[in-house]
Amino acid sequence: MSATLNSVPGDKRTKIYVATAFALVLVALMAFDTKVITLTELESEVGFSPQQFAQETFPEIQSYVENNAVDASVLAPEVLQDAGVAGEKYGVAAGIGHIVPVSLSGAAIEGRGGVYTLDVENVPSDVVIRVQTGPAINGTTLRDTTGTIQFGDFTNQIEYQDVGAALNDEMKRQVLADISGQDLAGKTLEVVGSFTLINPTNWLITPVSMAIIE
């Protein structure tokens, strides 16, 4: 290398030295500016994860619903008498109507698209009670049921909607993994969940726990 440079004219040799020195300084600066971060810091810099939020939050939602659920046989007469009063008494406001936690045991008499109509004892026959069993879980009932998860907690509407979908998915993973896809007609289900009380005679429950007892 030395012999090769010595054979280069002085002005060109000077330019080579300058270019080499500049490259070394640039590499040094790049190394100096490199930041080593942990996995947690990386996840933080990548951005908000609806899935992680749902995984951490669903147990709290599940506990809230189970602790506050009203037996359907108690709730139904009050709902038929005055849905607004019953919703305020047992649930939380959520746009139109209230979201109310409920518990029940009933026979699945008809299913369509994973949504089963249940025959629940001591509930007036004009109240239709249905439960979502998957694979599709619709709505944001789980997100809104406690009243503590608010739009203002998130950066934008997309994150807020994604959290609703992620909570549904997490519930399916934790609650419905062994149930979704089964033919439940004729079987008795024990269900704890929530529903949006808009139509007093039509309840669509999103479960937080479910068991086949017969």
Q: Does the pLDDT at position 180 exceed 50?
A: yes
**Residue 104: exposure state from Cβ atoms within 10 A (0-12, 13-18, ≥19):** buried
Report domain extents, the chain. Answer: 2-33, 48-212
> Terminal CA-to-CA distance of the chain, rounded, Å?
87
Q: Does the pLDDT at position 80 exceed 50?
A: yes
Structure tokens at 64: 């809230």
pLDDT on residue 22: 59
Q: Is the pTM of this model over 0.85?
A: no
- What's the CATH class of domain 48-212? mainly beta
Q: Give the C-alpha separation, 147 to 166, whole Å.
A: 17
Q: Give the C-alpha separation, 177 to 172, whole Å.
A: 6
Q: Does the pLDDT at position 196 exceed 80?
A: yes
pLDDT on residue 71: 98
CB atoms within 10 A of CB 162: 18
- Name every residue whose Cβ is closer than 8 Å to that of residue 129 and which is 6 or more positions away in sequence: 72, 104, 106, 117, 118, 120, 123, 203, 205
- Name every residue whose Cβ is closer than 8 Å to that of residue 132 and which is 6 or more positions away in sequence: 114, 115, 138, 204, 205, 206, 207
Where residue 181 falls among pLDDT bands split at 50, 70, 90?
A: confident
Q: How confident is the model over 150-164, as pLDDT tens digits?
A: 999 999 999 999 999
Q: How confident is the model over 128-150, as pLDDT tens digits?
A: 999 999 999 999 999 999 999 99
Instruction: HSE, CB side, 13 Å, CA atoms: give it for residue 163.
Output: 22
**In this predicted model, which residue has the larger pLDDT, 28 or 62?**
62
Backbone angles phi, psi at 107, to 5 degrees: -85, 130
Contact 130, 117 (CB under 8 A): yes
